[in-house]
Structure 1
Amino acid sequence: MSRSTALAAVVALSGGLALAGCSSGSEPGSPELKVSGAFMPQPVNSEMASGFLTVQNSGGTADRLTSVTSDLSDDITIHESKNQTMQEVKAFDVPADGELDLERGGNHIMFMRLKQKPEQGEKVTVELRFEKSGPIKVELPVEAPTHNPKH
């Protein structure tokens, strides 16, 4: 598939998706997840990119983010940053009545071997998968390479 065909498919697909995703549990006390603040800084090369967002859980039960998928890459991992080093982890906790913050300088989503380099103004669709809740589709708007909403 050519880059322009792939990009057109991503744009067409993302047009029908909401900017933030929600997943509510079917049982009382189950996790109730909502995603906000999602973005991807425009990558400086076509090898790797990172994604950031917040998963809020208003339910009375904790959950865990276990994986992320996207058409942008077949190699997506979640990374923890500690003591100025990052390492892949199997899952992140989403506490009951709390939130999981994936943010610059901290825990994040890592996209390796990109199929195309996203440009500022585009959107990248990802699917977040959880241990208990159903998957949530989220659009990551591609922002300037230095974008950091917390500063």
Structure 2
Amino acid sequence: MMTKTLALAGLSAIALSATAAWAEIEIRDAYARAASPMAMAGAAFMEIVNTGDTPDRLIAAKAGVAKRVELHTHIDAGDGVMKMREVEGGFEVPAQDTTMLQRGGNHVMFMGLTERFEQGKVIPVTLVFEQAGEIEVEIEVDLERQPDHGGMNHDSMDHGMKAED
């Protein structure tokens, strides 16, 4: 009986710590977009707020609306052309800080869309963090939102997609 009680107490502590870690990560102002209704790729942008005292890292994202979902950033190929590339190590989310996923910068990339990104549609996405684990979010498609960066046009960038993607 004592062993069973200790085991249940241990499981409760693990569940509480996972819940506490999740509560320290907040997703704000999330939206998704695609270049056109027929586009084969789309992206999601958001603020990731870590209210906790421990840094975390967004390491993956999952969604049923695409064949592949990756964490992307843009790089200068050296010829003045910005190219999108996967960030395999994910994005750092420092303690007591905010990490921005935004157009022209870091973002969640949906490739090989299996559903259209239509204005107002809600896309279920799972964000995977090293510490907080999986967090389910619903991201609304907003094709009308204007970029708030220095004029960089995410929709015309090279995402490294091949025709078979």
TM-score, normalising length from structure 1?
0.74
Q: How far apart are residue 73 of structure 1 and its match?
A: 1.3
Post-superposition Cα deviations, 1:76-120, rounded to whole Å, max 9, x if no partner, equal 001112333321111110011111110011111110111111210
Q: Which residue in the other structure is 1:111 paired with? A: 110
1:7-86 to structure 2, matched below 5 A, reads 26=17, 32-44=24-36, 45-83=38-76, 84-86=82-84
Q: Give the Cα separation in 2 of the matches to 1:43 and 1:73.
A: 15
- C-alpha contact 2:33 2:117 (8 A) present in aligned 1: no
Q: Which residue in the other structure is 1:128 paired with? A: 127
2:122 maps to amino acid: K
Aligned residues: 125
Structure with a larger share of its residues in helix:
2
Identity across aligned pairs (percent)?
34
Q: Which residue in the other structure is 2:145 paired with? A: 147
- C-alpha contact 2:103 2:147 (8 A) present in aligned 1: no
Q: Give the Cα separation in 2 of the matches to 1:85 and 1:64.
A: 23
Listed as ranges, the gaps of 5+ residues in structure 2 are 1-15, 77-81, 150-165
Query: Which structure has the greater CA radius of gyration?
Result: 2
Listed as ranges, the gaps of 5+ residues in structure 1 are 1-24
The list of structure 1 runs, each at least 4 consecutive aligned residues, that deviate by more than 2 angstroms after superposition, is: 82-86, 148-151
1:48 maps to amino acid: A
